[in-house]
Amino acid sequence: MRAPITLSLTLFLTLPGVAWAEDQAIALGPWTIATSSRGDKFDRCTMSRSTTDIDVSFIRDQDGLILFLESSKWRLDRGRAYPVTLVAGPRSVDAKAAAETKGVTIALTNQPLNESMRTAHVLEVRGEGATLRVPLDGSSAALSRLETCFVKNSRQSSDTNPFVAPNRKP
């Protein structure tokens, strides 16, 4: 008799933790939307996918929207800023790609370009050596969800109930 009760109690106590972990990332078309925290404090929301050549992430944090591109094939000069041109639909803008060893970050500060990404099929990142084609299928809904994720989670505070961890959902 005690074994079924113990098993039921164990399942009851562990399932909410499992459900909470599952809520940390969702798939939306080809994109995965996830939250990220530092310690107990919400940090950012990410929207990511992989292609055959590169891993693509859009990061929404307190500084705005950032594009992160990564490839195991790249050999970049860490700390260097490479000039690029971003093209989405009819819009283009010059930007800088800040290099890490295997990836670059590009601040997406041009609002007309950001809006064009919602309807464009591809974001071209034109560098001096090649043009990278970032597929944007499903990006309209995913970018909206990314922004909603950031707004919702950045408003949550442990001040309302310091005894319960915030429920961070993408």
Q: Read off the pLDDT of each residue in 28-54 and give the average, rounded to a whole number.
A: 90
The model's pTM is 0.78
Q: Residue 39's pLDDT is what? A: 78
Beta bridge partners of 161: none
Separation between Cα atoms, residue 63 and residue 130, nearest integer Å: 28
Separation between Cα atoms, residue 45 and residue 134, nearest integer Å: 19
Tell me which residue range forms the domain holding 128: 25-155
Whether 126 is covered by a domain: the verdict is yes
Please count the structural domains in the chain. Answer: 1
Model confidence band, residue 24 (pLDDT cutoffs 50, 70, 90): confident
Whether 5 is covered by a domain: the verdict is no
